[in-house]
């Protein structure tokens, strides 16, 4: 199976100061894009910048993190997003829709990294197969405040923060491939961080 990559899109220059972010909930989860304006209006400029023609066709996920050095705001190992899963919970890469897009935007450090080359894998049954082939990836860092188009077959991973900072992660997903909202609310009540326990202390 041939993997996909990330494609740079529009650049933004948005300002969401820490003094604002610390007053907000942890973001949004599987929220219809038009509804985002109602439930989290403080990020209106971000929604306005989404590079899509018909907002009704999209859902938005937002994660707002307060980070300290050596914490990861997202999955640290190679993975792809929105891959269908079977009744057993296992990923079904043969059920993906490569032509259906998603878009990613991060406010700043630490930036997501992605595989810039389109690697062909003989076997792709789970995300572990991506990690096993990580040496084949040409790794590129996303530019902060730039939208990137990607698909269910675009490998990427998180990076650890190197300083104390706030970070906004945003992904918009076409409704044709968007997973069902697992909650009864579009407000994100928590935003987990990932730790290397050998390097983090409180």
Let me know the angle formed at the C-alpha of 193 by 3 and 57, rounded to the nearest 5 degrees: 50
Q: What is the CA radius of gyration of the chain?
A: 17
Is residue 60, in this structure, part of any structural domain at all? yes
Q: Indicate whether this model's pTM tops 0.75.
A: yes
Query: Using one digit for the tens of pLDDT, what is the confidence trace for 30-68?
Result: 999 999 999 999 999 999 999 999 999 999 999 999 999
Structural domain count of the chain:
1
Residue 201 has pLDDT above 90, yes or no: no
- 8 Å CB contact between 119 and 154: no
Is residue 13, in this structure, part of any structural domain at all? yes
Nearest Cα to Cα of residue 159 among 82, 91, 103, 106: 106
Is residue 52, in this structure, part of any structural domain at all? yes
Is residue 201, in this structure, part of any structural domain at all? no
Structural domain for 142, as ranges: 7-195
Q: Six-digit token pair at 42?
A: 């403080």
Is residue 138, in this structure, part of any structural domain at all? yes
Is residue 170, in this structure, part of any structural domain at all? yes
Is residue 2, in this structure, part of any structural domain at all? no
Is residue 149, in this structure, part of any structural domain at all? yes
Half-sphere exposure of 102 (CA within 13 A, CB side): 29
What's the CATH code of the domain at 11? 2.60.120
């Amino acid at each position: 199976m041939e993997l996909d990559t990330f494609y740079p899109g529009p650049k933004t220059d948005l300002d969401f100061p820490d003094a604002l972010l610390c007053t907000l909930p942890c973001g949004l989860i599987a929220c219809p894009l038009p509804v985002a304006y109602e439930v989290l209006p403080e990020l209106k400029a971000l929604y306005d910048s989404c590079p899509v023609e018909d907002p009704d066709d999209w859902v938005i996920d937002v994660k707002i993190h307060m980070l300290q050095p050596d914490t990861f705001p997202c999955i640290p190992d190679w993975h792809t997003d929105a891959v269908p899963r079977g009744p057993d919970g296992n990923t079904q890469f043969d059920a993906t829709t490569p032509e259906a897009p998603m878009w990613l935007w991060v406010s700043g450090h630490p930036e997501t990294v992605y595989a810039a080359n389109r690697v062909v894998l003989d076997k792709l049954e789970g995300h572990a197969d991506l990690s096993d082939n990580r040496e084949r990836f040409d790794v590129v860092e996303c530019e902060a405040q730039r939208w990137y188009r990607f698909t269910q077959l675009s490998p990427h991973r998180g990076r650890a923060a190197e300083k104390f900072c706030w970070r906004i992660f945003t992904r918009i997903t076409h409704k044709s491939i968007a997973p069902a909202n697992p909650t009864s609310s579009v407000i994100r009540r928590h935003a987990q961080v990932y730790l290397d326990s050998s390097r983090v202390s409180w």
